[in-house]
A = this chain, B = another copy of it.
Amino acid sequence: MTTNLTEPRTCSVARTLEIVGEKWALLAVREVFLGNRRFDEMVRKTGAPRDTMTARLKTLVAAGVLERQPVSAHPPRFEYRLTQAGLDLYPVIISLMQWGDRYLTNGEPTPMVLTHSCGHTLGAVTTCSSCGDPILARDVRPTPRREKDNDL
């Protein structure tokens, strides 16, 4: 009983954070989305220590988020490309960016402008795939599957 009571929740958020839930990992993914696919560019644009970036990229490749591809043989050079799983992290990046744009600009202009293919400055809205309404926490009922989590 005690074991069950103290066991952490099984959760997709926690699982995802095991892979990308570290600042440098997500910033590396951000750089690849921005087209900076080489190690040195990622280090420069994120400010990550080189050995930390090396470790994070290794984790991201092992997790199937990035692929490491050779782009020249002499000297040996590699680029990191987003897999489909990596591309599917875009909503995570966008939602983090939007929150920072809203709450952490201190009255300054946002650091980056995103322009959508429709021609407008991008504002992201997380919507329900069934009804299309914006998703608010108060409109969502969470139900853990595992019995011991039933008390939430």
Show the binding face of A for B, using Cβ within 8 Å. Answer: 5-23, 26-27, 30, 33-36, 44-47, 64, 82, 85, 87-105, 109-133, 135-137, 139-146, 149, 152
Q: How far is the CB of A48 from chain B (nearest CB, A)?
A: 8
The answer to whether B47 touches A96, judged by C-beta atoms less than 8 angstroms apart, is no
The answer to whether A112 touches B34, judged by C-beta atoms less than 8 angstroms apart, is no
7 contacts between A and B (CB under 8 A): A9-B111, A12-B99, A34-B142, A87-B137, A117-B139, A118-B131, A120-B130
Cα of A85 to Cα of B123 in the assembled complex, Å: 17
Q: Knowing A96-B17, A100-B16, A104-B15, say if A90 contacts B137 (CB, 8 Å).
A: yes
The answer to whether A130 touches B118, judged by C-beta atoms less than 8 angstroms apart, is yes
The answer to whether A135 touches B104, judged by C-beta atoms less than 8 angstroms apart, is no
The answer to whether B92 touches A96, judged by C-beta atoms less than 8 angstroms apart, is yes
The answer to whether B104 touches A12, judged by C-beta atoms less than 8 angstroms apart, is yes
Cα of A146 to Cα of B16 in the assembled complex, Å: 32
Cα of A90 to Cα of B142 in the assembled complex, Å: 13
Cα of A94 to Cα of B18 in the assembled complex, Å: 16
Q: Knowing A12-B100, A46-B9, A144-B112, say if A126 contacts B128 (CB, 8 Å).
A: no
The answer to whether B12 touches A111, judged by C-beta atoms less than 8 angstroms apart, is yes
Partner of A44 from B5, B103, B137, B146 at Cβ < 8 Å: B5
Q: Knowing A90-B137, A128-B124, A133-B118, say if A145 contacts B110 (CB, 8 Å).
A: yes
The answer to whether B120 touches A128, judged by C-beta atoms less than 8 angstroms apart, is yes
